[in-house]
Chains A and B, each alone.
Chain A
Amino acid sequence: MEWTEKYRPRTLGDVVGNNKAVQSLLSWARSWESGKLPKKRAVILAGSAGVGKTSAAHALASDMGWGVIELNASDTRNADAIKRVATAGALNQTFTDTGEFLTSDAGGRKLIILDEADNVHGNIDRGGIRAILDTIRKTHQPIVLIVNDLYELTRHSSTFKTQCLTIKFSSISARSIKPVLRRISISEHVDVEDATLEAIAQRTSGDLRSAINDLQALSEGRSYVGLEDADAVGKRDNRVTMYDAIRTILKTDNIRSAKKAANELDEDPEFLLLWLSENVPIEYKELGDLARGMEAVARADLFLQRARRTQNYRLWAYAIDMMTGGVATAKDKEYRFYNRYRFPMWLATMGRTKGIRATQNSLSHKLTTHCHTSASIARADLIPFYRQMFDLDGAFAVEQTARLELSGSELAMLLGDDRDGKRVQMLMEAAEARETSGHIDPGGLGLAAFAAEEVAEADDEGAGGPGENGKANGNANGKANGNANGNGKGDGGGDGDAGAEEPETQRSLFEF
C-alpha cells in the first residue's frame, strides 16, 4: 500500500502545516451548518503539488461527517452529473442514476471535490467551464475546487473569484516534513538515518507527498536506510511535469499531443519509459488496451537499447514514438476517470545498486580469482552464494574474510549490513585473529557472548544445527553449553563426521 494513502490525515487536526488555511476551510464548512445556504458555496484550494490540498478536503468531510464525491473536473461528460448531484435538494438525494463514480454514502451532505480544476491539460472546453460555474451558483452541496495554478482557473472567468472563497496552501517547510517522515518510518519499523530524513525533506522542496513517496521507495523491503541510500532518489524538479506528461500520454489518443508532452518534458527517455511502465497498468484496465500498451512500452525499450548499442541515436525517435503515440493509441476505450499516478518504485531499487557498484566490482574480482570464474558468473552465482553462506555459517565467513582479505564495505555488501555494523566489525576482528593465530577462535574477541545468546535463541525456536565441539563449548558460557547439548538432533555431536566439526556457536553468530 502506498504510504501517502496509508498516512493520509484522517482529520483536519492531522494535516501538516498550513494552519491558517485549514482554519479558514473549517469556518467555511461550518457556515454550511447554519441552516441556510452560505454566500460562498465553493472554495478554491490553491497551491503546488503535494502540500495537502486533497488531504485537507477529505479530512474536512470526515470531520464534518459529510460524504465525499470526488470528480476530475476535466471530465466534461460528468458536468451534467455533477450538476444534478450538486443541485439536488437535501431530501431527495439518491444517486443511482449517476452511477459508477459516486462514492458517497446515501443521504446527508456531500462534499463535492473537483480535482484539477485548473484544467492544466486543456481538456475542459468552454461548455465545461460554464457548467462548473453554473453548478457553483446553484449548488446545494459544498464544493471544493483544487488547483495548482489559480490563474489558470480564474483567467477563464472572473466569476470564480467572486463566487468562491480562495484559500491558498503554501509549501510545507522541510522542518515540518521531517517529523512526519520520522513518524512514518517508526510505525513502518524502518531505521532511517536522521541525516537521510533531513536530505529527503530538504530536496523535496515543500512537497510532502513526494517526500513520503521517496521515503517509501528507499525503505521498501529494508529495515535500515543509510545516508548514501538517499542518493538513489534524485531531485525532482520536473516532478509536476512528469505527472503531466504521463497523464497526457495516457489520456490522449492523438500521437502528436502525446509526443508533444514528451518533448516538453526535460527528461531522459529511459526515465519517462520507466514511469510509463509503472503507470500504464494503472490507467488501462481493459486487457487488450493493457497488452497493447505494455507491448508499446516494450518496443520502445528495444529501440532505446538498440540506439545505445549501435550508438545510432536517431533510433531514439522511434523509441519516443512508441512510448508516446504507441502507448496513447493502444487504448480502444476512453478512460475518463482520474487516476493517481506514481513514481516508479523500481527506480529506487536500481538506484541503490548503483551506489554499491564499485564494491561489487572489487568483491567480484576477488571471488573471480579465488574461484576461477568470470566476473559475470561471480555476480550472478558467487555473490549470492557467499551471501547465503555468510548468513548461515560463521566459520565459513571468518575463513573467507581472512583468505580473500575482504574489506569492510565488501563484508557489508555480503552481510547486507552497514559498514560499521556490529557483524562487520566482529568478522574483521575474527579474521585478523585467525591470521595471527592460524586458526579460527570464536571466543577470543568477545564473540562468545553473542554466540551464546544466539545458541539459546536458536534452541528456543528448535532450530539448532548439528553437532557441537569442545572448543565452542569451552568458549561459550554455561548457558550456551547446556542449550547446545539440549539440541538432541539425530546427526548431533560427537560422531566424528565432517559436519560435526562445525562449532555451533559460530554458525549461529550470524542469525540475528
Chain B
Amino acid sequence: MEQVWIEKYRPKTLSEVVGQKEIVERLQAYVKIKSMPHLLFSGRPGTGKTTCAIALVREFYGEGWQLNFQELNASDERGIDVVRHKIKDFARMAPIGSDFKVIFLDEADALTSEAQAALRRTMEMYTRTCRFILSCNYSSKIIEPIQSRTAVFSFRPLRPEDVKEYLGRIASAEGIEIEEDGLEAIVYVAQGDLRKATNSLQVAAAMGTKIDDEAIYRSTQTVKPDEIKDLINTALSGDFAKSRKSLEVILIENALSGEDLIRQIHRNVYDLSIKERDKVRLIDKIGEVEFRMVEGGNPRIQLEALLAHFALVGEDIL
C-alpha cells in the first residue's frame, strides 16, 4: 500500500469513469470525431472533473499524452499572472502529432473577473492550436463571455451506488473486505465526493482492523454524527460553555473546516426531536451563518454566535 489510491485507481479511460454517464457519452463523442470545443466542467470536488479531463486527453493522444497536456491551478499562482505567462507559454508552442493541445485550468472560478477577461482573450487568440478545459465549483462564478464560448458540463455529486461500485473495485484489487456498515459510513462521510471516499477507505485499510463504520469515522476528519448531535443538543439545553468546548474540539482536534461543520449541523437538524416549525427556525439561522462564512466571516466567531443563539431559543424549543 505504498501508492495513493486516488491516483492508483484513477480511471484511465472514459468508460471506466463511475457515474456522470451523460457527460462521459458526450466526451466520447468528441473522441470519435477527433475534435472538441473549449469545455467548462463545473461541480463539487471529487465528482470526476479532473479524471474526465485526463481520460479524455489520454484517449485523444494515446501514449505521450502528457506532451500535449498542461495542468494549471488558478488558485495556486496569483490570479492573472497564470493567464499572462504560463498559459501563453504553453499555448504558443505547436501541438505534437495533433491539431491542438489541451490546457486544464483547475479552480478557474478562483480567478478575478479581470483575470477571466484576459483568459477569454487568450482563449480566442490561440483557439486554433489550443483547447481549454476550465474546471470550477460554481459555473455562476465564471464570466458570461467565457460561459458562452464553452460547452458546459455539470458534474453531479456521485450517487451512493456509484461510490459503492468504485470502492468495490478498489477493495477487490487490494484484496480487502469492507463491512456493510463501513460502506454506508463512507457514503455518509463522502457526500458524493469520490476523492474523500477513496482516502477514507485507504486510511481505514491502513489501520489494519476491520473496515466497519467505527473505522471509517476514525479515518475521516469528519466528526461522528453523534458528536454533532451532542453539540446541537448541548447548545439548545442552554449550556453554552460546554457546547463551546465541544466546538473547539471539533474544529481544532478533528480539524473540521467551519463550512464542513455548518453543513453537518444543518444535516442533523432534521433528526432533532423538536417541532417541525422550530427546525425551520434553526435552519434559517444556520443558513445565515453559512452565508457569513462564505462571505469571509471567521468560522469560529460565527459558529459561537450560532451556539449562543441556540442556547437562547432552546428555552422555547425544547
A295–B106 contact, CB under 8 A?
no
A293 CB contacts on chain B under 8 angstroms: 308
- Asked whether A273 is an interface residue with its Cβ less than 8 Å from the other chain, the reply is yes
A498–B301 contact, CB under 8 A?
no
12 contacts across the A-B interface (CB closer than 8 A):
A221-B253, A290-B308, A290-B311, A294-B304, A297-B304, A298-B302, A306-B296, A372-B10, A376-B75, A382-B199, A465-B207, A502-B1
B75 CB contacts on chain A under 8 angstroms: 374-376
- Asked whether A396 is an interface residue with its Cβ less than 8 Å from the other chain, the reply is yes
Task: Return the CB mask of B200-236 against A: 1 if under 8 Å, else 0.
Answer: 0011011111000000000101000000000000000
Complex CA distance for A440 and B3, rounded to whole angstroms: 13
List the one stretch of B120-128, B142-150, B168-176, B179-187 in contact with chain A: B168-176
Complex CA distance for A392 and B292, rounded to whole angstroms: 37
Complex CA distance for A20 and B287, rounded to whole angstroms: 61
Count, chain B residues at interface, CB 8 A:
59
B6–A290 contact, CB under 8 A?
no
Could you say which of A273, A291, A306 has the most chain B C-beta atoms within 10 Å of its C-beta?
A: A291
Partner of A298, one of B50, B176, B305: B305
Which chain A residues (219-239) contact chain B, with CB distance < 8 Å?
221
- Asked whether A370 is an interface residue with its Cβ less than 8 Å from the other chain, the reply is yes
- Asked whether B312 is an interface residue with its Cβ less than 8 Å from the other chain, the reply is yes
A375–B73 contact, CB under 8 A?
yes
- Asked whether B196 is an interface residue with its Cβ less than 8 Å from the other chain, the reply is yes
A509 CB contacts on chain B under 8 angstroms: none
Which chain A residues (380-409) contact chain B, with CB distance < 8 Å?
380-382, 384-385, 388-389, 392-393, 395-396, 398-400
A370–B76 contact, CB under 8 A?
no
A294–B308 contact, CB under 8 A?
yes
- Asked whether A365 is an interface residue with its Cβ less than 8 Å from the other chain, the reply is yes
A501 CB contacts on chain B under 8 angstroms: 1
Give 7 closest A-B pairs by Cβ, nearest first.
A465-B208, A497-B175, A399-B2, A298-B305, A305-B296, A294-B308, A291-B312
A291–B311 contact, CB under 8 A?
yes
- Asked whether A288 is an interface residue with its Cβ less than 8 Å from the other chain, the reply is yes
- Asked whether B244 is an interface residue with its Cβ less than 8 Å from the other chain, the reply is yes
Which chain A residues (451-495) contact chain B, with CB distance < 8 Å?
464-466, 491
B203 CB contacts on chain A under 8 angstroms: 385, 388-389, 392
Complex CA distance for A295 and B308, rounded to whole angstroms: 8
Task: Return the CB mask of B62-97 against A: 1 if under 8 Å, else 0.
Answer: 000000000101111000000000000000000000
Complex CA distance for A395 and B248, rounded to whole angstroms: 34
A314 CB contacts on chain B under 8 angstroms: none
Which chain A residues (272-308) contact chain B, with CB distance < 8 Å?
273, 277, 281, 287-288, 290-291, 293-295, 297-298, 301-302, 305-306, 308
> Would you give the shortest CB distance from A270 to chain B, in whole angstroms?
9
A389–B240 contact, CB under 8 A?
no
A308–B107 contact, CB under 8 A?
no
Complex CA distance for A293 and B4, rounded to whole angstroms: 47
A370–B4 contact, CB under 8 A?
yes
Complex CA distance for A73 and B207, rounded to whole angstroms: 59
A221 and B297 in contact, given A301-B302, A395-B1, A499-B205 (Cβ under 8 angstroms) = no
A381–B195 contact, CB under 8 A?
yes
B257–A380 contact, CB under 8 A?
yes
A377–B4 contact, CB under 8 A?
no
B301 CB contacts on chain A under 8 angstroms: 273, 277, 297-298, 301
B50–A297 contact, CB under 8 A?
no
B252–A349 contact, CB under 8 A?
yes
Complex CA distance for A406 and B174, rounded to whole angstroms: 26
B298 CB contacts on chain A under 8 angstroms: 301, 305
A393–B1 contact, CB under 8 A?
yes
- Asked whether A7 is an interface residue with its Cβ less than 8 Å from the other chain, the reply is no
Complex CA distance for A440 and B252, rounded to whole angstroms: 35
- Chain A, Cβ-Cβ closest to B3: A399
B50–A373 contact, CB under 8 A?
yes
A346 CB contacts on chain B under 8 angstroms: 248, 300
A290–B312 contact, CB under 8 A?
yes
- Asked whether A507 is an interface residue with its Cβ less than 8 Å from the other chain, the reply is yes
- Chain B, Cβ-Cβ closest to A276: B301
- Asked whether A368 is an interface residue with its Cβ less than 8 Å from the other chain, the reply is yes
> Would you give the shortest CB distance from A465 to chain B, in whole angstroms?
3
Complex CA distance for A475 and B110, rounded to whole angstroms: 50
Partner of A373, one of B2, B106, B257, B311: B106
Complex CA distance for A498 and B175, rounded to whole angstroms: 5
Complex CA distance for A277 and B299, rounded to whole angstroms: 12
- Asked whether B255 is an interface residue with its Cβ less than 8 Å from the other chain, the reply is yes
- Asked whether A309 is an interface residue with its Cβ less than 8 Å from the other chain, the reply is yes
B292–A302 contact, CB under 8 A?
yes
- Asked whether A371 is an interface residue with its Cβ less than 8 Å from the other chain, the reply is yes
> Would you give the shortest CB distance from A356 to chain B, in whole angstroms?
14
A499–B240 contact, CB under 8 A?
no
Task: Return the CB mask of B1-27 against A: 1 if under 8 Å, else 0.
Answer: 111101100100000000000000000
> Would you give the shortest CB distance from A355 to chain B, in whole angstroms?
16
Complex CA distance for A8 and B3, rounded to whole angstroms: 52
> Would you give the shortest CB distance from B155 to chain A, in whole angstroms?
14
- Asked whether B241 is an interface residue with its Cβ less than 8 Å from the other chain, the reply is yes
A384 CB contacts on chain B under 8 angstroms: 221, 255
B76–A368 contact, CB under 8 A?
yes
A396–B2 contact, CB under 8 A?
yes
> Would you give the shortest CB distance from B295 to chain A, in whole angstroms?
7
Partner of A396, one of B76, B206, B255, B308: B206
> Would you give the shortest CB distance from A370 to chain B, in whole angstroms?
7
B71 CB contacts on chain A under 8 angstroms: 372
Complex CA distance for A388 and B257, rounded to whole angstroms: 17
Which chain B residues (246-302) contact chain A, with CB distance < 8 Å?
248, 252-253, 255, 257, 292, 295-298, 300-302
A393 and B206 in contact, given A287-B312, A374-B75 (Cβ under 8 angstroms) = yes
Complex CA distance for A372 and B302, rounded to whole angstroms: 33
Complex CA distance for A417 and B240, rounded to whole angstroms: 35
Could you say which of A290, A384, A501 has the most chain B C-beta atoms within 10 Å of its C-beta?
A: A290
A221–B7 contact, CB under 8 A?
no
A290 CB contacts on chain B under 8 angstroms: 240, 308, 311-312
A349 CB contacts on chain B under 8 angstroms: 252
B248 CB contacts on chain A under 8 angstroms: 346
Could you say which of B71, B195, B244, B312 has the most chain A C-beta atoms within 10 Å of its C-beta?
A: B312
B38 CB contacts on chain A under 8 angstroms: none
Partner of B207, one of A371, A376, A385, A392: A392
B309–A295 contact, CB under 8 A?
yes
12 further contact pairs, Cβ within 8 A, besides A376-B75, A499-B1: A287-B238, A290-B312, A291-B309, A297-B305, A298-B304, A346-B248, A373-B50, A389-B203, A392-B203, A491-B177, A498-B173, A498-B174
